[in-house]
Amino acid sequence: MIDFELEMEQYDCPFIDTSSDHEVSFSTFQWEFDESTRELETRMVVDAEGRGHLDGGLTALRTHRNMHDFALLKRWDDVAHIRTVIDETDAMETIRRNDGYITGPFYIEAGEEVWHIGFDSAERADVTLSDLEKNNEFDVVSRHEHSHPDLQSLVRNAHPALRLIEGCRDLSAVERETLTAAVEGGYFQSPRQETLGTLADEFDVSKPAVSKNLRRGEQKVLSSVVDAMADLDGG
């Protein structure tokens, strides 16, 4: 298996057009391609830099010429959950025609889309990249050729990896920011470069408050690490 990460700029994609004109980003977590209609159905999370940007982005996406169906499923202030149906784009058609397949979620921001695609042979991969250059702009961020043992490890470790991701998602914004500042500032190093006092000053809170946020974040992340290690041991 040949696995690629591409930064893609399609000229016929509603999401890329919308993210170029509005301060919004799109993250897919479900997609389904209809062979009979050549349409792609997706469910996405839309994240915006404020309510106004989200309003403008959703309106632009809903009225885009290449949008067949649009539904706002839920909204939380400047974040939305949507369902869309669009035509197959030129890049999609090129990849599918050359027996390529999607290996990971899409992420779209500022007019560019991160794609994770795979091929069963290097020959098909090279042909596809050559064909993509005709009507699309893209950069190859990474290319990996996986051996059979690599694929076995990937499949076996998928569940532990999800455990770690879930632990990170459970962090509140304050817990995530506090942990990030602590790690980047050297709080966990020896000798310690960051202290509770400097962290408290950075976030303009008391030492007990920053300590509580740090402990809560550590507990969530370490609990997910312990669960993941248990899954690895069980595998």
Domain-wise residue ranges, the chain: 2-145, 157-234
| 46-57 residue pLDDT tens | 999 889 999 999
Per-residue pLDDT tens for 214-235? 889 888 888 888 877 777 655 5
Give the CA-trace dihedral at 114, 116, 122, 128, to 10 degrees. -50
What percent of the chain has a predicted confidence (pLDDT) above 70? 90
- Among residues 61, 59, 50, the alpha carbon closest in space to that of 26 is found at 61
Whether pTM exceeds 0.85:
no
Ramachandran quadrant class, 186 (left: phi over 0; alpha: psi -120 to 50; beta: rest): left
pLDDT band at 59 (very low <50, low <70, confident <90, very high): very high
pLDDT for 190 equals 82
Residue 105, pLDDT score: 79
Average of per-residue pLDDT across 90-107: 88
Fold annotation for 157-234: Arc Repressor Mutant, subunit A (1.10.10)
Helix, coil or strand: residue 183:
helix
- CA trace torsion 156, 160, 163, 168 (10° rounding): -120
pLDDT, average across residues 63-84: 93
Whole-angstrom distance between the N-terminal and C-terminal Cα of the chain? 23
